[in-house]
Structures are given as structure tokens and as C-alpha cells.
Structure 1
Amino acid sequence: MSTKFFREEVEAAVDALLMQQVLLYPTDTVWGLGCDAELPRAVEQVYKLKQRPAEKACIVLVADEQMFARYAEVVPPNLPELLATQMRPTTYVVPGSRHLAPNLLAPDGTIGLRVVLTDEFCQKVVRRLGHGLVSTSANLSGEPTPAIFSEVNPVLVRQADYVARWRQDDETRSLPSRVVRVLPDGSLEVLRD
């Protein structure tokens, strides 16, 4: 794929997000639905599209440690070391901050945050947006998670405001992220490996 096509897709995705629209896109793990993590109305649209109960929290992709700190009430003191030694995408469950759309938080006030380290498309979109990017698997609630674009339910393809064309033909399969809860003492509890 050309550099020009890549840049156009990043710009189109960011434009949709700035217009408070729902994006269907390839994440650093699986295909996802997303929106600006600071806009409650956009978050509501994601839940509506997925037919997902509002009490089931989504995760938020962030560009770096500074953006992580914007959305976390508690930042693991060893976050730089954790990221440096991370073998695969990892979502950290932490108390969420007031900068997030309130309807993104789990009932206990936590949020899952993931620093995008390896996926250039997601990195560029999040950096250009300047806010966290909601990421929830692009499936109707209860359906299997789509690892590749051809597995995304056609209903979601039709209903998303913008469908990224980037990596639609890529058949590379990735697993969902590892999920860990950050405990008060800074240690980690594995929720999904």
C-alpha cells in the first residue's frame, strides 16, 4: 500500500472522529469500533451500534505515557518499564479520570487503557486526534471478535459512520490484548492473558 493511501486513511479516520462519528478500524489487535474517548454522545453511539449494555466498559487507546496519565487517576509508577518489556499489546485497568466520557467508565469507576506501541495506523490516528480513542471489538454484543475485516458483521460495516480501508485485505490474525488490573501497591493482577 502506498504512503499516500496510508496518510489519506489516517486523515479520513481523524476527520470522522472530530465530527463525533463512529469509526470502524483495524486496531493493534483486532478490528474495532471507536470514537473520541472524551465525547459522551459518540460513546453512546458505539454502545448503540454494538447493542452492548452500557455497564460493560470499553477500553481506550492512547499514544503515550502522557496521554495515559491524562485518563488515569492512578498511573503505575513503573509504567515506562512495563511498556519497555511488554511482549504483546496490554490493557491496564486503572481508576479513570474526569477527562473521559463518564459513560466509558466501568461501574467501579475504572477504565482499560492501552498504549499503542506497534501499530502505526492507530498511533497516527490517536496522535492526530489528540485524545484517547475508544476501542471495542467490532462485533454485535455476544458475537465472536473479528480478527480480520472479512469477519466483521456486515450490519456494523453499513452502520459505522466511517470504515477505514486500511488493512481490509490483511489476513494476519492477532489475539485480543492481555488485560491486567493495576493494584493500589502498583502490582498487576492478570485478568486475561
Structure 2
Amino acid sequence: MANTFVDREDLNQALETLKNGGIILYPTDTIWGIGCDATNAEAVEKVFALKGRDKNKSMLILLHNDNQLASYVREIPEVAYELIESTDRPMTIIYSGAKNLAENAIAEDGTIGIRVVNHVFCQQLLQRFRKPIISTSANISGQTSASNFDEISEEIKQAVDYIVKFGQQDLSKGKPSIIMKLDPSGKFEFIRK
């Protein structure tokens, strides 16, 4: 069984790093991620630079519950809540009309991918931080995603400001989330199943 005890000091360090515009390496409900304050454009820029990621490829954000969606999306189709509640796998939904986020976190077409995360460390971090966190796979763009902590390259580990201790011993293989694009009309399509 996975460890569910969250060390307060570990949580505080991650929180302080986010508040100071830093980058964290952290476990999620899918794979390990590189994250920062999704409302801080300078921090988001650092993540793009670290990954060597094309600025046209947007990143996703994590929220700790679906009540927060209205703070970051202009129009939420009712079906969004049903989709979030009915899935048994982590699911990222791409919404139109992103708002209240760093401009460079939002795709050129105004969309943003959002996942309501179900992970003990992430939930506690997000609840305390009170803002969304960027989440992008812990790898350099073009390289294979790391499915657990041991697979993350030293290059990534050296480049972040804080590495979360929680979950480092878990060697099970994480999988990326389902990705679905949701139109304001409620029409949806799968991008990745």
C-alpha cells in the first residue's frame, strides 16, 4: 500500500518554493511532475526553459477540487462535473476560455488543460497554496516520460529548486492521464485515452 503520511516539513518546503516563484519536482496521481505557481509568468517561463519545451505547447494545471474550476475557466459545461465524478482514472480536461492564470500557461487558442487531482500530497499542497500548480512531465521535451522517481534524469533533479520527498520510494509505474477536449457547448473528444 502506498504511503499516505505527508511530512509537514516536506509540504512546507514545497509550499515555500512555490510562493517564492520556484520550481518543484513532485509526485502526482499520474507520473512525477515539474510544477510551479500557475499564476506566476516568470515561474512558468522557468519551467518552459527547463524542459526545452516549445512555447506553443501549453502545460496543464492541477486543482484540488472541481469547485475551483469557475476561477480559471469562463464557461464550464455541466457535463464537465459529470465527467470528473464518473472517471476512475486521472483525467485532464482541456477547457476553452482560460482566465486568471499566467498568460504563458494558457495555449494560444485560449484553452487550458485542468486535472482535479486525487493524490494525498498534491491535495494538501494545493489546499494550502490556494492557487493552481503547473504540472508537466518530469523530462526534457522529446525524451521519454519518467514513470517513477528513479527514472527521472539527474539533469531535471539538478535544475529544480525543491524535490519533494513524498513518494520517492514508490517504484510502481505511473501512467499519464486521459486527455479530453471539452467544448463550451458540452461536446467532447478524447485526445489521449
Task: Please give the range of the TM-score, normalised by the shorter of the 2 chains.
Answer: over 0.9
Change (3 A) 1:10 1:96: farther
After superposition, the C-alpha distances for 1:136-183 in whole angstroms (9 at most, x for unaligned) are 001001000011011111011011000111111111112100000002
Contact preservation (8 Å) 2:96, 2:111:
yes
Provide the secondary structure at the position in 2 that maps to 1:33.
strand
Instruction: State the match for 1:176 in structure 2.
Output: 176
Instruction: State the match for 1:23 in structure 2.
Output: 24
Distance 1:98 1:189 in 2: 22
Contact preservation (8 Å) 1:33, 1:134:
yes
Which ranges in structure 2 are unaligned for 5 or more consecutive residues?
Answer: none
Question: How far has the Cα of 1:27 moved from its partner?
Answer: 1.2
What residue identity is the alignment partner of 2:9?
Answer: E
- State the number of aligned residues: 191
| 1:153 matched to 2:160 | no
Change (3 A) 1:18 1:96: farther
Provide the secondary structure at the position in 1 that maps to 2:7.
helix
TM-score (norm 1): 0.94
Alignment of 1:121-140 (within 5 A): 121-140=121-140
| 1:112 matched to 2:113 | yes
Provide the secondary structure at the position in 2 that maps to 1:54.
coil
Alignment of 1:43-62 (within 5 A): 43-62=44-63
Distance 2:125 2:70 in 1: 19
What residue identity is the alignment partner of 1:168?
Answer: Q
What residue identity is the alignment partner of 2:19?
Answer: L
Instruction: State the match for 1:69 in structure 2.
Output: 70
Identity %: 36
- Greater Cα offset, 57-66 or 7-16: 7-16
Distance 1:154 1:47 in 2: 18
- Greater Cα offset, 179-188 or 38-47: 179-188
Question: How far has the Cα of 1:2 moved from its partner?
Answer: 8.2
Instruction: State the match for 2:192 in structure 1.
Output: 192
Distance 2:186 2:144 in 1: 33
Contact preservation (8 Å) 1:96, 1:105:
no
Distance 1:79 1:53 in 2: 28
Distance 1:129 1:51 in 2: 27
What residue identity is the alignment partner of 1:61?
Answer: L
Contact preservation (8 Å) 1:67, 1:131:
no
Which ranges in structure 1 are unaligned for 5 or more consecutive residues?
Answer: none
Distance 1:152 1:101 in 2: 27
Distance 1:49 1:56 in 2: 14
Question: How far has the Cα of 1:93 moved from its partner?
Answer: 0.4
Change (3 A) 1:2 1:60: closer
Instruction: State the match for 2:13 in structure 1.
Output: 12
Change (3 A) 1:95 1:184: closer
